[in-house]
Amino acid sequence: MVQSIIVVGAGIIGAATALQLAKAGHAVTVVQAGGADATSASFGWINASFFLNEDHHLLRAEGIAAWHRVLQDVPAPVDWQGCLCWDMSPDVMQATYTQLRAFDYPVEIRTKEQIRVLEPALCNAPDQALFFPTEGAASSADLTRHFLRAAQARGAKLIRNLFVLGLKSRNGRVMGIETSQGDLDADQVVIVAGTGTTAIARTIDCEIPLVPRPAYILRTSPQKKVLHHILATPHGEIRQEPSGQILMPVAVGHQGDTAEELTQTPTAAADDTIARLRNVFGGLENADWTEVTRAERPMPQDGLPIVGPIADGAYVAVLHSGITLGPIIAELVAKDITGQLDNTDAAMLAPYRPDRFADK
Ligand SMILES: Cc1cc2nc3c(=O)[nH]c(=O)nc-3n(C[C@H](O)[C@H](O)[C@H](O)COP(=O)(O)OP(=O)(O)OC[C@H]3O[C@@H](n4cnc5c(N)ncnc54)[C@H](O)[C@@H]3O)c2cc1C
């Protein structure tokens, strides 16, 4: 059944979801407050080598598959360059290799000599590294633009710079949203508002527990091409965009970072991080950071995505690793809203339902 659906949020999750809903023929309106978001500050790595448990790995591996499906509709700039990873001890590396092989995930061990060939500008190649050949990265600021354009080409409407105050409900059914410019009605509201999700859900007494996860990420000015893969090193994660800019989150191992506050000023953090970068690569002695961005990552309390209905007429999807998971979550949300999940889809979403936090 065709529905009128308001999507609150136009980060990667909102934009990807709007596209899938518009493709399914629904009348979609995306409402976006503007201001800081996580997507445009992201490192943009699409991977399933980071995971919290087997279900989470499988969802992320499906996330990579969903990227290839959505790229047939949207010309988003994803570079499937693969990742070289040595940000772990030899024991952990061996265990990670064994575990990922058991999951049937593409992973190979590369020797020092092979790493030197793959990344000739590295100052000190490690003795060995894991190579994840199917992983990619995207210029995340561009992604929402591509998804939103594709959704709009299929009839979706976009309202920018409008803050959603809360949900409008009657007799327990959500009927739309309240905004500073009046109410908007819809059959369904999909709240994909990143860290803004909790406040919106609270207006119908639903608790969506997120934890504070602030982050800095820096960019250099365009450099000549020195880097050919995504690198996860003991000095931090690094990748180079087609523009030549090098990106580096300040937190080493940023996907598993659990710091609740940033203790350094942006300039001190960026200065330290650029010094680490210069130590990793030859030819970057004069490279400096030109931009550092502070962002709040949408991080559910247990680290796992929160995806599902929270009331009749209201649905939530909030998660970290939204670049990896955006397309698969969008596909699942679009099916779930209209009761079209098959058994495999339902099993994939089962660990992430919002009601796991009820009464806690
Ligand atoms: C430094 C950093 C590095 C990261 N690296 C990676 C990575 O390598 N790989 C990966 O997969 N993930 C990574 N992430 C995580 C990823 O970026 C996020 O999971 C993802 O961007 C979340 O997308 P989102 O659409 O849920 O939220 P956001 O991008 O935050 O978008 C939220 C949207 O909701 C809107 N909004 C909020 N409140 C309201 C309101 N009240 N009314 C109307 N609109 C509202 C905002 O305007 C915005 O449009 C990283 C994040 C950071 C910060």
Domains, the chain, ranges and CATH?
4-44+141-211+301-357 (3.50.50.60), 83-133+214-296 (3.30.9.10)
Distance CA 121, CA 2 (A): 54
Q: Determine how many CB atoms are found less than 10 A away from the CB of residue 346.
A: 12
Radius of gyration of the chain (CA): 21
Q: For residue 83, give the 3-state DSSP assignment.
A: strand
Q: Let me know: does 59 contact 305? Beta carbons within 8 Å.
A: yes
Q: How confident is residue 313, by pLDDT bands cut at 50, 70 and 90?
A: very high
Lowest-pLDDT range of 137-141, 162-166, 313-317: 137-141
Residue among 238, 297, 299, 325 whose CB has most ligand 1 atoms within 8 A, to mutate: 297
With H, G, I as helix, E, B as strand and everything else as coil, classify residue 358: coil
pLDDT digits (tens, 9 = 90+) for 149-177: 999 999 999 999 999 999 999 999 999 99
Question: Residue type for 72, please?
Answer: Q
The tokens of 358 are what?
């009820």
Tell me how far apart the 2 most distant CA atoms of the chain are, in Å.
67
Quick one: which of 58, 62, 273, 232 has its CA closest to 131? 232
Band (pLDDT 50/70/90 cuts) for residue 359 is low
The pLDDT tens digits of the residues spanning 213-270 come to 999 999 999 999 999 999 999 999 999 999 999 999 998 888 888 889 999 999 999 9
- Residue among 119, 139, 88 at smallest CA distance from 253: 88
Ligand 1 centre to CA of 88 (Å) is 27
* Mean pLDDT computed over 40-56: 96
pLDDT band, very low/low/confident/very high, at 208 (cuts 50, 70, 90): very high
What separation in Å is there between the alpha carbon of 102 and the centre of ligand 1? Answer: 31
Q: Tell me how far apart the alpha carbons of residues 262 and 277 are, in angstroms, rounded to a whole number.
A: 20
The residue-averaged pLDDT of 102-130 equals 97
Q: What is the pLDDT of residues 49-80, one digit of tens each?
A: 999 999 999 999 999 999 999 999 998 999 99
Nearest CA to ligand 1 atom 38: 196
The 8-class DSSP code of residue 133 comes to T
